[in-house]
Structure 1
Amino acid sequence: MRLLIVLLLLVLMIGGAIYGVRSGAIDVPPDWNPWATLDVNAEPNFLTRYKLGRLSKSSELCQQVLATTNIEYERVDNRMTGPACGFFNAVRIQKTSSGVNKPFSLSCRAAVSLALWERHVLTPAAEKHFGQKVATLEHFGSYSCRNVYGRANATRSQHATAEALDVAGFVLEDGERIRVLKDWSAGGAHAAFLRDVRTGACRFFDGVLSPDYNAAHRDHFHFDRGPYRVCR
């Protein structure tokens, strides 16, 4: 009986603490508060993925967070473009922290992941390896109403709902160009940079595929927000 009472008191104490944090009655720094809004500029920690997950459940919260980034975009109307294809809470991106070779569409949650990756992975990696920032992000596209690998008997690709982006390379501020196809196996700073930005993307995206995955990705990185976790 005494043990039951102790356990009940512990449950009440824990429940009270959770309520206190959620309601704001107990002051916890936002970085360590699971219910605080995601701050893209804050140093990522073990709660970052949880906060990213919350954006998948709330279009309004996702748009609120995306508006705090330096991505230039316009909202895309929700619409179906084919069987299991279309846009939901998506945006048309004109510019990220870098320029882009052409505008592209992404779901809001994928766009927030992109902003986190650029802020905490891409920019630091470029400064580490080359002493400068990335001026242009070169990509092969994002939205495409198709199955995985374009196969007739496959499931829909994450591209079919604008949840994925294929990154082909980067142009540095001094004009130097780094391409996945040319530089992944070349060795040196270019290859080390590409591996850093690939591996770092796994912190913020669900699916990250590179030339290490298969030949179909020999010339680009595939980043997506989807149902499966893979980093290769």
Structure 2
Amino acid sequence: MRRLHILLRRSLVLAVLAALIFISYAVLRQRPQDLPWTELDLAEPIGLFTGRKLAALTGEPSQCRALLDQAGVAYVVMKPGGERHCAYSDAVRLESGAGAIALSPASVAPSCPVAAAFKLWEWQVVQPAAQRIFGQPVKRVEHFGSYSCRRMYGRSSGDFSEHATADAIDIAAFVLADGRRISIVGDWKGDGKDAAFLHEARDGACRLFSTVLSPDYNAAHRDHLHLDQAERGAMGGRACR
């Protein structure tokens, strides 16, 4: 019993110290987004807990849409669809307003948490990288879709894919303002600017999505970046490969 009390005291001390470290870090840097308990704001730069806060929006459609509204994101709410393992209820179709990246095909409607993460990725990762590396913005992102009622890797059994609930999107290519196309399948490998841009886009996505899978993971992802907001709980793991 005494040993248990000692362990509990030590755990409490460590928890308090961790909280103090987080608070000090955020205060010193004036970065509330680095604290786990502050509210998510899509206008803020990416913080230490931004990805987890985005994932926590799964199952909270009204809260998620409020964040999109607050950030001035143009979107259309889609009707619920599917059934059983393939049911979805929080899908939105992003609209390409002035200065926003257009999705191609434009009809894609991922879940709201995926859309929110995509906009932060656009603002904080993709466009800054494109401007720095190419001196121009990305005007369009090509994709392979979001919703698809299927199991992982198209298997006949096993867990359902995040695509089955529209909680994922597969990114295939980026089109720059001058019309040049940079694709995952054609430009991922190498030491040039195109490969550097794609890798930076992948690495930045890892800070915002629960799962990011690239050609570095396996052959099934040789032609796209898989981005999803899988529910793994507040302390769940994240995958970046």
TM range (shorter): 0.7 to 0.9
Partner of 2:101: 98
User: 2:202 matched to 1:198?
Assistant: yes
Q: CA deviation at 1:85?
A: 0.3
Q: CA deviation at 1:52?
A: 2.2
Identical-residue share of aligned pairs (%): 43
Q: Which residue identity is paired with 1:135?
A: K
Contact 1:35 1:51 in 2 (8 A): no
Partner of 1:3: none
Partner of 2:238: 229
Partner of 2:42: 40
**Higher mean displacement: 28-37 or 53-62:** 28-37
Per the alignment, in what secondary structure is the counterpart of residue 41 of structure 2? coil
What 5-or-longer segments of structure 1 have no aligned partner? Answer: 1-6, 15-27
Q: CA deviation at 1:50?
A: 4.2
User: 2:224 matched to 1:220?
Assistant: yes
Note the alpha carbon deviations across 1:102-129, whole angstroms, 9 max, x for none: 1211111111111111111111111111
Residue 171 (structure 2) aligned to one of 163, 167, 174: 167
Please give the alpha-carbon distance, in whole angstroms, between the structure 1 residues aligned to 2:220 and 2:121: 23
Partner of 1:180: 184
Please give the alpha-carbon distance, in whole angstroms, between the structure 1 residues aligned to 2:71 and 2:181: 25
TM-aligned CA distance change 1:93 to 1:193, over 3 Å: same
Q: Which residue identity is paired with 1:58?
A: E
Please give the alpha-carbon distance, in whole angstroms, between the structure 2 residues aligned to 1:164 and 1:93: 14
User: 2:158 matched to 1:149?
Assistant: no
TM-aligned CA distance change 1:53 to 1:169, over 3 Å: closer
Contact 1:74 1:93 in 2 (8 A): yes
Please give the alpha-carbon distance, in whole angstroms, between the structure 2 residues aligned to 1:179 and 1:229: 25
Please give the alpha-carbon distance, in whole angstroms, between the structure 1 residues aligned to 2:41 and 2:56: 13
TM-aligned CA distance change 1:30 to 1:200, over 3 Å: closer
Q: CA deviation at 1:67?
A: 1.6
TM-aligned CA distance change 1:229 to 1:152, over 3 Å: same
Q: CA deviation at 1:53?
A: 4.2
Contact 1:76 1:87 in 2 (8 A): no
Q: CA deviation at 1:84?
A: 0.3
What 5-or-longer segments of structure 2 have no aligned partner? Answer: 1-8, 17-29
Contact 2:51 2:210 in 1 (8 A): no
Note the alpha carbon deviations across 1:159-209, whole angstroms, 9 max, x for none: 000000000000001111100111011430000100000111000001100
Partner of 1:63: 65
Partner of 1:21: none
Contact 1:158 1:224 in 2 (8 A): yes
Q: Which residue identity is paired with 2:192?
A: G
Please give the alpha-carbon distance, in whole angstroms, between the structure 2 residues aligned to 1:148 and 1:57: 21
User: 2:134 matched to 1:130?
Assistant: yes
Q: Which has the larger radius of gyration?
A: 1
User: 2:129 matched to 1:140?
Assistant: no
Per the alignment, in what secondary structure is the counterpart of residue 138 of structure 1? strand
Q: CA deviation at 1:70?
A: 4.9
Please give the alpha-carbon distance, in whole angstroms, between the structure 2 residues aligned to 1:35 and 1:98: 31
- Greater RCO between the two (CA within 8 Å, min separation 6)? 2
Structure number with higher strand proportion: 1
Q: Could you say what the CA RMSD is over the residues aligned between the two structures, in angstroms?
A: 2.7
